[in-house]
Amino acid sequence: MKIMRFFLLLLFLLISYSAAIEVYYFQKLKDQIAEIAFDHLEEDLLELTEDISILISDARNTNKIFKQMNWVVVNNQFVDEVVIQSPAGIIYTTNAKLILPDSDAHLTLEQARIAPQKLFNENRILSHQTPVQTRNGSSSFRVSFKTNNQNYQALLAKRVEAFILFFILLPFISVVVFIAFLRRYIVLPLNRLESYAFNHDQVLPHFLIGEFNSIYMSMKKAFSGLEQDRQRLFQQVRSDRLTGLPNRLALKEYLGIQVAQAQKSQSAFALLFLDFDNFKFINDSLGHDKGDDIVACAAEVLQSQLPSNGFIARVGGDEFVIVIPDYQSQTQLEVLTQTLIDTLLGLNDCCQAGTPVSCCIGIACYPTQGKNYIELMQKADIAMYEAKRQGKGRYHFYSPELNDRVQKNIALDQSMRQALQNKEFVLYYQPKIDLKTKTVVGAEALIRWIKADGEVISPADFIPIAELNGFIVQLGEWVLEAAFLQLQLWAKRMPDCVLSINVSARQLAEPGFCEYLKSLLVKYQLDPSKIDLEVTEYLFFDHSVDNLKTVNDIRAMGFSISLDDFGTGFSSLSYLKKFHVDQIKIDKSFIDDFDSESGAIFIETIVKMSESLKKQIIAEGVETASQAEYLQSVGCINVQGFFFSKPLPLPEFERYYQKHKPAVL
């Protein structure tokens, strides 16, 4: 309830209450006046009756009696006429023309005392009867006053006037003044304080009532405290704690403004999505504190490279988004992007990162490639993943073609999962040849996706996507099951055939991978020495899990391990020393290059290194007889390649094996 309404209600109750009291007192006032008038009448009536009772017995007193009667009429304003009656009738009257009403209209003193108002309101006659001794014996006479109603009413009106003045008019004026004061000094300040609570930008005047000033000051203090807290919170929720840079929320707001401005001025801006290539490695190898130091340092150096109107936000652990408004050309963006990549690579000097910090950057431009925060972020993200796909320290611009590819990959992702359920995957087998004996020593199981319509999809098209989205774990399990089952089926027919199975680094890093292998051995009753697991160098880079231990455990179970695609990645001698692999597989790219001087040097170096490290060596991608001859001449006896056989479907491989198995030759 509003205070003014509350006061009015209070006032209404007060007025109703006082009105009730006033009505009561008004009634009382009327009674009081009637009583006063009656007192006058009674006094005069008794006095006159007493005088008359002395005078009446003597006829000579007639004049005196009239005198007395007239005196009463003149001096008592409430008496109009006086009449003296004997039982026989009127003896004396001040008005001969007066016709007295019958005795019902008379009130005795006793009756009138009880209800004096009747005398005037009902025009009654006040009478008093008294006994008297005459010469003829005892008799009685009655003195009657005809009351003066007019004088009574005039007196009443006078008192009512005073009553109205003191009990109605003055209180009414007081109430009006009170309401005005209430409004001015209580209701208005309260309303002002109320509106100040909603809009505390306004300045309130000084109030007459001190308490209101205190409330105002307290509110002012509380609001300014709240405003400070609000501003601090506003900043806090929009800035990144570690780097002090704007965070994702701030970026979102900034882009909203930027889009509106660019729309107005018909200008363009570029959004760069930057992601470290090896942050997980940094965190795992150097610890999270050092990781934090590096991120903070990176934020600083990246910021220092931006143009004055550039904006940078940290949107994830190792993810930054940079906005470049009004860029001049794509070349300008390319130069800037390369500078950012190079700057991060040089971070080592600034914060002793201990390792090179490389990053990939995806670029999307407003308005051609995205019209809002979500679109631009999505597209820059797609471009960034494309840059990552191409290698470390790269940048890539978003393009519709890239998007088509990503969309295709997404579609592929879904159909790949469906294909596993539909049993569309099969294993092909590529023979591994011993050049000395020209026999098959084993095979590499290579997955194929054969669609319902007979179309064969190469693993090169779907394995990288399965690696990216994690489906490789599920698919890899299928490969292991299928390969193990095949080995079980070969146990009698082709007991010496060693089968190589490709295992992705991600699959190997799955918790419980060794136990899983063990369970497969039990399930298919296999000898692990007939199984070779091909892993790539990517295994070395994931430091979040103990791959070294997994590799050792796998070898301890009796499996052999081959290092696939050797020479294409970041092969380092220290890794080879740390990871005990049984066999090194020289990548096809080196074999392709065998007839160049540098190519030959590489191959021979790898062969010698394997010999000294006491590791077996195999060459893959052998396509020509001269390649085979050369490899044999340098001591690489085991080979695999189209020159001998392409990967074959099971029945063909089995036929090939039977034809070239060691015993037959």
Q: φ and ψ at 623, to 5 degrees?
A: -115, -15
Round to whole Å and give the CA distance between 2 and 490.
94
Residue 525 in the binding site for ligand C2E (CB under 6 A): no
Residue 502 in the binding site for Ca ion (CB under 5 A): yes
> What are the helix and strand counts (H, E) for the chain?
25, 19
- 472 Cβ partners below 8 Å, 6+ apart? 463, 466, 504, 506, 507
Q: Smallest gap, in angstroms, from Cβ of residue 627 to ligand C2E?
A: 9
The closest alpha carbon to 473, from 515, 508, 499, 512, belongs to: 508
CB closer to ligand C2E, 210 vs 454: 454
The conformation of residue 247, written as its DSSP 8-state character, comes to -
The amino acid present at 401, given as its one-letter code, is: E
Single residue of 68, 247, 486, 504 touching ligand C2E by CB under 6 A: 504
Stretch that binds ligand C2E, among 12-20, 117-125, 316-324, 453-461 (CB under 6 A): 453-461
Q: How far, in whole angstroms, is CA 352 from its chain's centroid?
A: 40
Q: How far is CA 367 from CA 262, 308, 380, 500, 558, in A?
A: 9, 22, 13, 51, 59
Residue 642 in the binding site for ligand C2E (CB under 6 A): yes
Identify residues 587-626 at the interface with ligand C2E (CB under 6 A).
620-623
Q: Smallest gap, in angstroms, from Cβ of residue 417 to ligand C2E?
A: 16
CB 120 within 8 A of CB 152: yes
CB 294 within 8 A of CB 353: yes
Burial 65-101 (b: 16+ CB within 10 A, else e): beebbeebbeebebbbbbbbbeeeeeebbbeeeeebe
Single residue of 419, 447, 497, 520 touching ligand C2E by CB under 6 A: 447
At 129, list the tokens: 């009867």
Residue 647 in the binding site for ligand C2E (CB under 6 A): yes
Residue 565 in the binding site for ligand C2E (CB under 6 A): yes
CB closer to Ca ion, 318 vs 564: 564
Single residue of 564, 581, 619, 639 touching ligand C2E by CB under 6 A: 564
Residue 564 in the binding site for Ca ion (CB under 5 A): yes
Answer with the entry of ligand C2E, Ca ion, none that 107 interacts with (C-beta below 5 to 8 A by kind).
Answer: none
Residue 534 in the binding site for Ca ion (CB under 5 A): yes
244 half-sphere exposure, CB direction, 13 A CA radius = 6
Stretch that binds ligand C2E, among 181-189, 325-333, 521-529, 641-649 (CB under 6 A): 641-649
CB closer to Ca ion, 534 vs 654: 534
Round to whole Å and give the CA distance between 522 and 165.
116
Q: How far, in whole angstroms, is CA 550 from its chain's centroid?
A: 44
Q: Smallest gap, in angstroms, from Cβ of residue 476 to ligand C2E?
A: 6
Answer with the entry of Ca ion, ligand C2E, none that 247 interacts with (C-beta below 5 to 8 A by kind).
Answer: none
CB closer to Ca ion, 397 vs 513: 513
CB 319 within 8 A of CB 274: yes
Stretch that binds Ca ion, among 179-187, 198-206, 216-224, 565-573 (CB under 5 A): 565-573
Residue 460 in the binding site for ligand C2E (CB under 6 A): yes
Q: Burial-class residue 562 by CB neighbours within 10 Å (0-12, 13-18, 19+).
A: buried
Stretch that binds ligand C2E, among 163-171, 285-293, 431-439, 454-462 (CB under 6 A): 454-462
Stretch that binds ligand C2E, among 7-15, 147-155, 302-310, 455-463 (CB under 6 A): 455-463
Residue 502 in the binding site for ligand C2E (CB under 6 A): yes
Residue 463 in the binding site for ligand C2E (CB under 6 A): yes
CB closer to ligand C2E, 373 vs 484: 484
The amino acid present at 273, given as its one-letter code, is: F
Residue 442 in the binding site for ligand C2E (CB under 6 A): no
Round to whole Å and give the CA distance between 365 and 380.
8
Q: Smallest gap, in angstroms, from Cβ of residue 444 to Ca ion?
A: 6
Q: Which residues bind Ca ion (CB under 5 A)?
A: 502, 534, 564-565
Q: Which residues bind ligand C2E (CB under 6 A)?
A: 430, 445-447, 458-460, 463, 476, 479, 502, 504, 534, 564-565, 620-623, 640-642, 647
